[in-house]
């Protein structure tokens, strides 16, 4: 008889299968440290679990605060020691507060970059616990998003400087769009004292947003920008069957990707492509460029297109002075002031108007408070316009079903207080819709 079986029999413990496995695997260590862990105490379920925690954290006895400090200082070593059944530490929800306290006291804006890997690993573990999944602990999800956003923006800032226009756009549609998605998701959380672990990510994103789009603007100065939004209809013409077309205002590339991820059954094929948006990136111009212009063919069932995207600005951006016939936050008409100035004819629009745009995430100095969402300028977020191609799955062919109803239903009647009915109603119900397809009454015959 091993230690586990002995404890279960003698102490009548109520242990889950996972804890029993952990106990069996660590029984020798428990015996070795019995005096310090249990001693003369009655080996209750709680005491056994505490002892297993102490063994996992290499402590002489279980102490939550001491375990947290050790977890923060030596996460890799502790992670190797923690057994699969105990890594979430769900028995003690207060451990989340202790971990957060330690992170808040040891992390500041200067060392966040050095600790972000550790913060991400801790958040990864904690989001899988019962308390997070049941919304009692709400801060680990935004902390995890923030750590990923910070790291992603940091990687982008290491490689953008030498990229040309097409390389920047390719990187954006392959991976950088996720940063826009992350920051929007992050903004939905109502953060409390964990705010200091979130703010560095916002700062990193704002830096990325400004610097990468400044680089894009410089590349466009050399390589040009020719909108091809009007070629949208090349996806539609000569289709083999009718095509449904949807236009959505301000459908940014990341929102199109998120939409695709949310699509459920009924879609056979889906692709997200992109077009060079029209400048200025505003609804009046973008929607006009989407007017029908029949060209080539691509036989998809449904098309979803946008006219422009937008920038999400959490803090007040740099304001650039500008004078012109029309001056908006992100563009000006008939103005020679701005970081990028171009004639409409040079960017794919008929006419000879002069358009001016500020660089990066900056705005022109227009009177009034800055809104969180702006558009009209030249940036990845505003002018890389998605086209979502959906091919719907063919509906399943209807199957003819015939139902033969019995004249009599034989059943047992167990109630001593009510008499059995003389007849019952039999129904055939559509499983998906709940619709009663057919019904009929049948006589009841009791089984003796």
More confident residue, 357 or 92: 357
Residue 181 lies in a domain: yes
Say if residues 364 and 340 touch (Cβ distance below 8 Å): no
For residues 356 and 244, state if they share a domain: yes
The total number of structural domains that make up the chain = 4
**Are residues 62 and 155 both part of a single domain?**
no
* Residues 247, 375 within the same domain: yes
3-state secondary structure of 92: coil
Residue 107 sits in the same domain as residue 194: yes
Are 216 and 277 in contact, with CB atoms under 8 Å apart? no
Same domain, 268 and 383: yes
Token pair in block for residue 392: 């719907």
Q: Are residues 380 and 442 in the same domain?
A: no
Higher pLDDT, 165 or 268: 165
Q: Please state which of the ranges 159-173, 193-207, 316-330 shows the lowest mean pLDDT.
A: 316-330
What is the rounded CA–CA span in Å between residue 121 and residue 111? 16
Residues 6+ apart with CB under 8 A from 151: 116, 117, 120
Structural domain includes residue 90: no
Asked if the structure places residue 86 within a domain, the reply is no
Task: Tell me the pTM.
Answer: 0.69
Q: Which helix (H) or strand (E) holds 273?
A: strand 267-276
CB 275 within 8 A of CB 290: no
**Residue-range definition of the domain harbouring residue 58:** 3-81
pLDDT at 297: 27
pLDDT at 130 over 50: yes
- In whole angstroms, what is the distance from residue 365 CA to residue 323 CA? 9
Query: Is residue 398 a part of any domain in this protein?
Result: no
Co-location of 215 and 267 in the same domain: no
Residue 250 lies in a domain: yes
Average pLDDT estimate for 95-103: 81
* End position of a domain, from candidates 223, 238, 265: 223
| CB atoms closer than 10 angstroms to residue 221 | 14
Out of 53, 81, 109, pick the residue that ends a domain: 81
332 with 267, same domain? yes
Shared-domain flag, residues 215 and 238: no
Strand-strand pairing, 384-392 and 267-276: antiparallel
What pLDDT, in 10s, does the model give residues 227-237?
Answer: 887 677 776 66
Cα 434 from Cα 445, distance rounded (Å): 28
The distance of Cα 316 from the centroid of its chain, to the nearest Å, equals 26
Q: Which residues pair with 340 in a beta bridge?
A: 357
pLDDT (tens digit per residue) in 426-442: 888 877 777 888 888 88
**Which of these three, 223, 243, 277, is where a domain ends?**
223
Q: What whole-number distance in Å separates Cα of residue 154 and Cα of residue 146?
A: 12
Q: Are residues 214 and 238 in the same domain?
A: no
214 and 255 within one domain: no
Q: How many CB atoms lie within 10 A of CB 429?
A: 12
Question: Are residue 334 and residue 365 in the same domain, yes or no?
Answer: yes
Could you tell me if residue 160 is inside a domain? yes
On whether residue 123 sits in a domain, the answer given is: yes
Q: For 309-336, what is each residue's pLDDT tens digit? A: 999 998 889 999 999 899 999 999 988 8
Three-class secondary structure of residue 373 per DSSP: strand
Both tokens of residue 405?
């109803």
Percent of the chain beyond pLDDT 90?
Answer: 33
Q: Please check the confidence at residue 120 and state whether its pLDDT lies above 90.
A: yes
Residue 239's Cβ-side half-sphere holds a number of Cα atoms within 13 Å equal to: 19
Tell how many helices (H) and how many strands (E) occur in the chain: 17, 15
Q: Quick check: 381 pLDDT over 60?
A: yes
Domain membership of residue 101 (yes or no) is: yes
Least trusted range by pLDDT, from 82-91, 169-178, 387-396: 82-91
Residue 298 has pLDDT above 50, yes or no: no
- The angle at the Cα of 364, spanning 363 to 369, to the nearest 5 degrees, equals 75
């Amino acid at each position: 008889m091993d230690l586990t079986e002995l404890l279960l029999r003698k102490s009548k413990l109520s242990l889950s299968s996972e804890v029993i496995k952990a106990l069996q695997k660590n029984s020798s260590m428990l015996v070795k440290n019995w005096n310090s862990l249990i001693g003369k105490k009655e080996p209750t379920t709680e005491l056994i679990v505490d002892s297993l925690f102490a063994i996992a954290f290499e402590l002489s006895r279980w102490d939550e605060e001491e375990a947290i400090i050790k977890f923060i200082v030596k996460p890799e070593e502790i992670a190797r020691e923690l057994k699969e059944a105990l890594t979430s530490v769900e028995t003690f929800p207060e451990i989340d507060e202790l971990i957060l306290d330690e992170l808040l006291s040891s992390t500041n804006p200067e060392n966040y970059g050095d600790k972000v890997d550790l913060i991400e690993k801790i958040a990864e573990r904690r989001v899988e616990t019962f308390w997070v999944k049941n919304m009692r602990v709400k801060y680990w999800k935004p902390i995890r998003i923030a750590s990923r956003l910070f790291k992603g923006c940091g990687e982008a800032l290491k490689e953008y400087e030498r990229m040309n226009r097409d390389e920047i756009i390719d990187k954006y549609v392959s991976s950088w769009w996720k940063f826009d998605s992350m920051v929007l998701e992050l903004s939905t959380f109502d953060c409390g004292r964990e705010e200091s672990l979130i703010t560095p990510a916002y700062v990193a994103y704002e830096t990325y947003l400004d610097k990468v789009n400044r680089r894009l603007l410089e590349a466009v100065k050399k390589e040009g920008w020719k909108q091809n939004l009007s070629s949208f209809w090349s996806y539609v013409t000569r289709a083999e069957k009718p095509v449904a077309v949807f236009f959505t205002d301000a459908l940014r590339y990341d929102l199109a990707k998120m939409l695709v991820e949310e699509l459920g059954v009924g879609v056979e094929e889906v692709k997200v492509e992109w077009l060079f948006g029209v400048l200025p990136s505003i609804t009046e111009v973008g929607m006009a460029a989407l007017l029908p212009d029949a060209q080539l063919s691509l036989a998809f069932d449904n098309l979803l297109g946008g006219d422009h995207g937008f920038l999400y600005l959490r803090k007040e951006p740099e304001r650039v002075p500008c004078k012109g016939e029309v001056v908006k936050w992100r563009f000006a008409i008939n103005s020679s002031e701005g970081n990028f100035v171009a004639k409409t004819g040079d960017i794919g629009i008929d006419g000879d108007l002069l358009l001016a745009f500020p660089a990066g995430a900056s705005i022109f100095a227009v009177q009034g408070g800055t809104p969180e969402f702006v558009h009209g300028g030249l940036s990845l977020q505003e002018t890389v316009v998605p086209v979502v191609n959906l091919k719907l799955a063919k509906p399943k062919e209807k199957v003819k079903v015939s139902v033969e109803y019995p004249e009599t239903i034989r059943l047992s009647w167990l109630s001593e207080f009510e008499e059995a009915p003389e007849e019952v109603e039999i129904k055939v119900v559509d499983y998906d819709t709940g619709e009663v397809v057919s019904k009929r009454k049948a006589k009841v015959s009791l089984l003796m």
